Structure 1
Amino acid sequence: MTSRFEQLVVDCLDPRGLAAFWCAVLDYTVHEDRGGDLVEIGPAEIAPLDELRRTAVAPQIVLRRGHTAKVRKNRLHLDICPIDSDQPTEVERVLALGARRIDIGAPEGASWTVLADPEGNEFCVLRSLAPGHFEE
């Protein structure tokens, strides 16, 4: 028996604001907005159930209103990979959307860049998957 990773739930102070940020970063769309208290985002096309059963698909993100700000390092974070540009270009694009650089002790010369979303949640921009940047 097997399970599929379908959703990541993030508690935050501003679900709509964080949804807008992650939609821009990941090219996701809003699937459901419950009055701004819970916003579900994901790929524009929702995979049919039979596809979800057969293969891994991009997970949805549920942004749920919490009542406290983030205060310490995440125990879980996202890693993203650019698919149509190089890593430095993607880092600059995401910074322009509202992310910021942070230092959480990555080793010198790390192949990833550590950023934080507008509410301080850490995530990494990894190598590019764009043609010519990553070879199989």
Structure 2
Amino acid sequence: MDIRQLQKNEALPMGLLLEADPSKELIQEYAANGFCYVAQQQGESIGAYILLPLNTTTIEIKNIAIAASQRGKGYGKKLVEHALSEAARMRYKTVEIGTGNSSLDQLALYQKCGFRVLGIDRDFFIRNYPEPIFENGIQCRDMIRLEFKTETSFI
């Protein structure tokens, strides 16, 4: 799998990004101020993520997605590790990520990659999305915020 940063003139891999965030408008908004990376295998785009600077020391993985047909193969972990490496290369000290309370697999993955729970934004998904989101039979209501300190990593 090859991972590369998209150039500003390249189209966003919207199909992939919509796998992680159902709002095209929100994706376009944060992508305009961030860095989008795409993962390709044999010429096919199979994953993507966006890094969004929050301030001079903190950057957020705002969206991370793997094509449904490619899940369960370790590509998500590789994307997270790549994002952490890019953040460290860009000299950010903290990487944040948020996911839904119903995103059980993602919560496990992020913690396995070294993220720690930072806080909970209660009713985030109720406030920001017009349609209810369900995952794993659970309504996605709250945003679980996690952080990773790059200066304590081995990247």
TM-score range, shorter chain: 0.3 to 0.5
For CA contacts below 8 A with separation 6 or more, give which structure has more relative contact order. Answer: 1
Tell me which protein shows more helix as a share of its residues: 2
Q: Which structure: larger Rg?
A: 1
TM-score, structure 2 length as denominator? 0.31
TM norm structure 1: 0.34
